Amino acid sequence: MNEVVEKTAPLTEPAAEGIAQGPDKAVTKKEPKILVCDGNEAAAWGVVLSRPDMVAVYPITPQSSLAEYVAQFVADGVLDAELVEAEGEHSVLSVLHGAALAGARTYTASCGQGLAFMFEPYFRTPNLRLPIVMSIVNRDGITPQCVWGGQQDAMTVREVGWVQLFCETVQEVLDTIVMAYRIAEDRSVMLPVNVNHDGNYLSNGIVRIELPEQAEVDDFLGAPDVNWHAALDPKRPMGVDPLTGGATGPGPALFVGYRRGHCEGMQNALRVIVDVHEEWARRFGRRYAPLVEEYRLDGADYALVTIGSMAGAAKDAVDAARERGEPVGLIRIKTLRPFPLDAMVTALDKVRAVGVVDRAVSYGWNSGPVHQETLAALQYCPHRVPCLSLIGGLAGADLTEAHFAHAIAETARLLVSPCPREPVWLNAEDR
């Protein structure tokens, strides 16, 4: 017999514990505009709210829909920016160099092989101290052929001198793009910022988010402050990027001065990132750990270290382990560059062992890049903390709560047995 079945939605489970990114109760505002969108559209809305003067893009999976959303917003008049569809990523960033030197607030997005093709101007951007904001929709490297998520792209360029922020959620992608302009254009920083969001799970994962009010973002960001230090401006003629250094002419000291100033700008960014996140929480009601998030470290004997969108499933696994009585917590790195040494040491000092989950490979060390960063930070820890490398989520592989339960079990073993030199490959058996 055929019948129409009436069912009631079984959607009445209690709230998950520790969802830290809900609205701040102290902030009361009118009902926000709700969007149901993926991370790429959220990023494009972040761009709209930041009112860049010029956007240059070249599409590449999984960034492509972000480029398309921005182009659509320009075409629809939602974003009043000049859009340059350049012939490749090298031109994309070179165009933005000119725009920034002429005083424009600028934006672009790329990833993977596009970032590789962009590398030459990418290398010059922070040395020119240009406050360009660029999304990296993190993609794994080829070969073998791969168009999927992974953080090999951003990790590979982490020594080039850009500020690098890594988002966990779609809402954080939107909010962080706006915040990135404040950080980049702070006169004590004056550096380009990469806002990283994982390809696939964040770029194409759809959730409910809130859209900040344009007027409030305008008030938060203020007018662009881009080229006070180096300009292509007929009224202020100056030599931009002259030949500097070597053993003759001005001598090595001038070049050293540029390098040292760049390092100082990076260190200043640590304070500015904290301040900007604090102001964001106060104005918009959403609070994010600016440098390093500590999740359930109270009473934890050991912890996972994560970066990017994997933290959601990892926190669920930590909650489940805590319910079983396992004393585990989680450390999430939001700011990788500049490396937040003090915040990281403070977090690491609370546990006796850590397992670092990387979505990229450090070929030189047979581990993951964030594992290497963590080992470096542990040098500043008063006690010795064994540190295991776990690698997963390569080429779009899923990192589920079950994978993190495995990671937690492997990390727990460090309390009773020596730390393996070999990394744990979390998706090695996934077919």
- Where on the chain is the footprint of another protein (CB under 8 A)? 1-16, 19, 22, 34, 36, 38, 147-149, 169, 198, 200-202, 204-208, 309, 311-313, 315-316, 396, 398-401
C-alpha 221: how far from chain center: 19
Of 58 and 69, CB closest to another protein: 69
3-state secondary structure at position 425: strand
Q: Backbone phi, then psi, for 247, in 5-degree steps? A: -95, -5
| Residue reference for tokens 């999927």 | 148
The dihedral built from the CA positions of residue 413, 149, 19 and 207, taken in this order, carries a sign that is negative
> Minimal distance in Å, beta carbon 32 to another protein?
13
Of 16 and 238, CB closest to another protein: 16
> Minimal distance in Å, beta carbon 58 to another protein?
18
> Minimal distance in Å, beta carbon 16 to another protein?
6
| Residue reference for tokens 């070999």 | 422
Of 172 and 225, CB closest to another protein: 172
Quote the radius of gyration of the chain (alpha carbons, Å). Answer: 22
State which amino acid sits at residue 40.
Answer: N
> Minimal distance in Å, beta carbon 361 to another protein?
19
Residues contacting residue 12 through CB under 8 Å, at least 6 positions apart: none
Asked if 352 and 340 count as a contact pair (C-beta separation under 8 A), the reply is no
Of 4 and 243, CB closest to another protein: 4
Of 113 and 127, CB closest to another protein: 113
Of 68 and 301, CB closest to another protein: 68
> Minimal distance in Å, beta carbon 396 to another protein?
5
Of 349 and 398, CB closest to another protein: 398
- What are the C-alpha distances in Å from 324 to residues 10, 320, 327, 333? 26, 7, 9, 26
Asked if 135 and 43 count as a contact pair (C-beta separation under 8 A), the reply is yes
Whole-number Å distance between alpha carbons of 214 and 212: 6
> Minimal distance in Å, beta carbon 13 to another protein?
6
> Minimal distance in Å, beta carbon 402 to another protein?
9
The dihedral built from the CA positions of residue 180, 182, 187 and 189, taken in this order, carries a sign that is negative
Torsion of CA 291, 297, 298, 300, to 10 degrees: -160
Of 9 and 26, CB closest to another protein: 9
> Minimal distance in Å, beta carbon 187 to another protein?
36
| Residue reference for tokens 């589920």 | 400
- What is the DSSP code string of 162-221? -EEEE-SSHHHHHHHHHHHHHHHH-TTT---EEEEEETTTTTS-EEEEEEPPHHHHHHHH
- What is the DSSP code string of 287-314? ---SSEEEES-TT-SEEEEEEGGGHHHH
Whole-number Å distance between alpha carbons of 76 and 80: 9
Note if the bond before 144 is cis, omega within 30 degrees.
yes
Of 38 and 186, CB closest to another protein: 38
CB atoms within 10 A of CB 12: 6
Of 208 and 259, CB closest to another protein: 208
Of 23 and 103, CB closest to another protein: 23
> Minimal distance in Å, beta carbon 321 to another protein?
15
| Residue reference for tokens 């064994």 | 386
> Minimal distance in Å, beta carbon 125 to another protein?
30
